[in-house]
Amino acid sequence: MKIAYLSVFYPYRGGIAQFNANLFQALDKTHRVKAYNFKRQYPSLFFPGKTQHVSEQDPAVSVSSEPVLDSINPISYRITAKHIIKEEPDLLLMRYWMPFFAPSLGSVARSVRKRGTTIISIIDNLIPHERTLLDNPLSRWFLDQNDGCVAMSTSVRNDILALRPGIPLILRNHPLYDHFGALQKPEEARYRLGLEPDRRTLLFFGFIRDYKGLDLLLEAFRDLGDTYQLVIAGECYGSFEKYEKMIRLLPNPPAVKVFNRYIADSEVPLFFSAADVCVLPYRTATQSGISAMAYHFQVPVIVTPAGGLAEAVEGPGTGLVASGTDACSLVQAIRKFFTMDREFFKANINREKAILTWDRFAFDLTDFAGRLKSQKLSK
């Protein structure tokens, strides 16, 4: 199968680019795949972080791509479509994670689809965490340009069907990352991070945004006692001041180690190797690439019952689900976790690692595309 993959790739940073690189490599084993990248993903004015690109020192997975799409330049929409149409792909594969990209990606898909190419999008978030009145109309229009979709959680599948009833889709769990390197000795990792060697270590990892509930975790941490320590690793999108204030008011502020910056791929093993458990205290969620990173390092997770987080953890038994999205529920779940045998979680994580591979995800996606194409030809 000849595949055009339009999304964000190296040198852009973040979970979407990491996912795309891994899936590209899996698809490229058995198909002809060409990557089309953004030449401008977000206008600098709208981007809340420090930079959209990886540094030269970050050994992120590099995929050769054609930077052609500008998210806010309609002329580039036509140019991108022409470049893709010229290659005559059987499948145009895209990623959709916020309505901001509906005009650019949807316009390209609409033009390419008219030439008979099958269009499939992997939907991360159909409805964003910070909502506006335009979200539903934009996402509905985007879905109309697709022949089918891939959802990675039941909540996203339900969102898709609510906006576009009857659209063909498949539900597949987020594959587990395997490009971050090997697990390190916990005592060495904790020493390098300036942590106490014998405390129960919680990890909050990834970009810090309001919906991710770091304030809930800090509130819970206040009541856990002096046998715990917390590592916060990730760049804050917005002001970190309110979290700093909460940390200063804790009974033991030094028990919280803050690394308020983007964590390069080369550093990821250090943080997960130091952790006993990764906590995702999200207020809203669909699925999380952070749990896929944690499982790579055999680190269980504690999540709130938000979106698709619970189904990805409770079913396979790879961690614990708090009873609610509040600090008290987090305290109970964290304390319960440390009364349990961690080997139980590790065994379940290893089973998931054998199932949630990039090769299997790639096979299911292309099989789905083949069935859609056959259905179109039979009409």
Same domain, 193 and 313: yes
Flag whether pLDDT at 146 surpasses 70.
Answer: yes
Residue 181 lies in a domain: no
Q: What is the pLDDT of residues 169-185, one digit of tens each?
A: 999 999 988 778 888 99
Please tell me whether residue 6 adopts helix, strand or coil conformation: strand
Same domain, 92 and 11: yes
Same domain, 367 and 325: no
Give the DSSP per-residue string, 301-362: EEE-S-TTHHHHHHTTTSEEE-SSSSHHHHHHHHHHHTTS-HHHHHHHHHHHHHHS-HHHHH
- Predicted local distance difference test score (pLDDT) of residue 103: 97
What is the average pLDDT score of the chain? 92
Same domain, 198 and 339: yes
Same domain, 45 and 170: yes
Provide φ and ψ at 259, rounded to 5°: -125, 80
Q: Please return the burial class of 146, using the count of CB atoms within 10 Å of its CB with bins 0-12, 13-18 and 19+.
A: buried
Same domain, 56 and 150: yes
How far apart, in Å, are the Cα atoms of 289 and each of 100, 135, 173?
21, 23, 11
- Cα–Cα distance measured from residue 210 to residue 203, given in angstroms and rounded to the nearest whole number: 17
- Cα–Cα distance measured from residue 113 to residue 288, given in angstroms and rounded to the nearest whole number: 30
Least confident interval from 35-39, 121-125, 307-311, 318-322: 307-311
When pLDDT is cut at 50, 70 and 90, the band that residue 50 belongs to is low
Same domain, 168 and 197: no
More confident residue, 285 or 139: 139
- Predicted local distance difference test score (pLDDT) of residue 265: 84
Chain centroid offset of residue 370 CA: 26
Residue 201 lies in a domain: yes
Residue 65 lies in a domain: yes
Q: The whole model's pTM is what?
A: 0.87
When pLDDT is cut at 50, 70 and 90, the band that residue 12 belongs to is confident
What CATH number corresponds to the domain at position 28? 3.40.50.11930
**Element (DSSP H or E) covering residue 118:** strand 118-123
Q: What is the pLDDT of residues 77-129, one digit of tens each?
A: 999 999 999 999 999 999 999 999 999 999 999 999 999 999 999 999 888 76
Query: Is cis: bond before 11, omega within 30 of 0?
Result: yes
Number of structural domains the chain divides into: 2
More confident residue, 63 or 105: 105
Same domain, 258 and 307: yes
Contact 148, 172 (CB under 8 A): no
Same domain, 230 and 247: yes
Please state, as a whole number, how many other Cβ atoms lie within 10 Å of the Cβ of residue 170. 16
Shortest CA distance to 19 belongs to which of 359, 358, 360?
A: 358
What CATH number corresponds to the domain at position 277? 3.40.50.2000
Same domain, 160 and 232: no
Please tell me whether residue 204 adopts helix, strand or coil conformation: strand
**How would you label 26-46 residue by residue, b for 16+ Cβ within 10 Å and e otherwise?**
bbbeeeebbbbbbeebbeeee
Radius of gyration from C-alpha coordinates of the chain = 21
Same domain, 371 and 342: no
Same domain, 133 and 264: no
More confident residue, 57 or 155: 155
Q: Provide the residue range defining the domain that includes 217.
A: 186-355
